[in-house]
Amino acid sequence: MFPLKDDIPSRHFPVVNLWLIIVNSLCFIYQLSLGPQLEGFIVAHGFVPARFTAEQAGNVLALGSYLPVFSAMFLHGGLLHIFFNMWMLWIFGDNVEDRMGHGRYLLFYLLCGVGAAFAQFWANPQARAPMIGASGAISGVLGAYVFLYPRARILTFIPIFILFYLIEIPAYFFIGFWFLMQFLQGAAQQVAVGRLAEGGVAWWAHVGGFVAGVILLYFFKQSPGKKAGQVWL
């Protein structure tokens, strides 16, 4: 299933959501310019659970060890990776920003990314593959969206063999099915190999980001009656 749009119009211009998309895109363009240096850049700025474990063993308060948790959110592994992430953010992020306000939404997004990183760390603290991508933070946006707008209609592209369908699906079904798939694939991967495989998709980051978004929504959402002329913190 691939979402095309929702039916919830934004009341305010989603300036933070747009800038997140722009910054992610600029970071990806910079990655493309690195050529053979890209791998070292990813290792240095991606979140590596094994490295974090070693650094924390030496000094829990080593602030430098936390920086990759944030930088990893703005790096991507390929064109399809960033396209799908930014598309999901474009569709769902504007409405969540609408209900939180600009500053609150930015903090919410970053905290969801942190929750996603540590969910993946909890699942396999000795993993040596760098975790990169905005999908953990965006999973938090999905978690907030489904509780804010459970009955929103998502126009969805569904390919079935050689046939293609456009169907409007309630947000609670679309996002609920998405979350179930993340959980089942993460569990299946872990059971199959006894631990999370090196590389591949960070399923537990998606699960952790989603759960973080649901929890943080309680603290970050604003009243739906807030006027467009007000300054949002």
What kind of fold does domain 2-218 have according to CATH?
Answer: Rhomboid-like fold (1.20.1540)
pLDDT at 214: 96
Q: Which residue has the higher pLDDT, 48 or 226?
A: 48
Instruction: Average the pLDDT over 183-202 and give the result.
Output: 69
Distances (CA, A) of 115 to 19, 26, 122, 207, 212: 21, 24, 10, 9, 6
Sorted by where each begins, the domain ranges of the chain are 2-218
Residue 61 has pLDDT above 80, yes or no: no
Query: How large a percentage of the chain has pLDDT more than 70?
Result: 89
Let me know: does 87 contact 156? Beta carbons within 8 Å: no
Q: How far is 16 from 113, CA to CA, in rounded Å?
A: 15
pLDDT band at 228 (very low <50, low <70, confident <90, very high): very low
Distances (CA, A) of 132 to 103, 176, 190, 192, 227: 24, 24, 19, 23, 37
Residue 132 has pLDDT above 60, yes or no: yes
Residue 230 has pLDDT above 60, yes or no: no
pLDDT band at 194 (very low <50, low <70, confident <90, very high): low
Q: Over the stretch 163-175, which tens digit does the pLDDT of each residue have?
A: 788 999 999 999 9
